[in-house]
Amino acid sequence: MKASGFGPAEVLEVSFHNPIAVRTGLLTALIASITNSLPIPIPGWLLFSQCGAGFLAVYLYGRRTGQSLSVVSGARMGWITGVFSFMIGVVFFTLAIVAIMNQGGLAAFFKENMRSHIPNTADLDRLVATMQEPIGLSVILLLMLVLLFVLFTVFPTLGGALAAKLLARDRT
């Protein structure tokens, strides 16, 4: 909430212009990044963690402001969290790619790790050949970043909308 002069406090819209929303989104993105890095062998853990980050962001924002969010505002809060999660993820993604490039290249790493997933060696060899070309490597890295963006923003947005719906029900 923001005090405006001598009148009552204004309710700020959930956006990147709202400092409470930004701080809450960044905090929950950091928490999500830590939980994403835990070696938990549960299928879908990353998706669950990202949904949970959006849910937690709405919960913490509501506690901090005393404001009950609408489903749209909850989705926005989740989106803010997701954008910060993506930015943190890009830093780790870049560090991992640099480390892999320094240890023999991305194509060799990919070939070694995908051998069990792609049984047809001709397909695997074609993919590795594509990765050895600068344009092919660029396209693959760009597609990986797009996939990360979608995963790290859609699921917190859904978690935020769900939290707003469930938490609003608890307050009535």
**What is the separation, in whole angstroms, between the first and last Cα of the chain?**
21
Amino acid at residue number 114 = M
Q: In sequence order, what are the residues at sequence separation of 6 or more whose Cβ sits closer than 8 angstroms to the Cβ of residue 61?
A: 14, 20, 21, 24, 67, 69, 77
Q: What is the pLDDT along the chain (172 residues), one digit of tens a residue?
A: 444 444 345 668 999 999 999 999 999 999 999 998 888 888 888 899 999 999 999 999 999 999 999 999 999 999 999 999 999 999 998 998 889 888 877 777 877 777 777 777 787 788 788 888 889 888 988 999 999 999 999 999 999 999 999 998 766 5
Would 164 be classed as within a structural domain? yes
Q: In angstroms, rounded to a whole number, what is the distance separating the alpha carbons of residues 61 and 65? A: 6
Tokens of 3: 């005090």
Tell whether 57 is covered by a domain: yes
How long is the chain?
172
Sign for the CA dihedral angle at 45, 160, 155, 158 comes to positive
SS3 state at 11? coil
Range of the domain at 44: 19-171
Question: Does the residue 147 lie in any domain?
Answer: yes
User: How many domains does the chain fold into?
Assistant: 1
- Residue 10 located in a structural domain: no
Q: Is residue 12, in this structure, part of any structural domain at all?
A: no
Q: Does residue 14 lie in a domain region? A: no
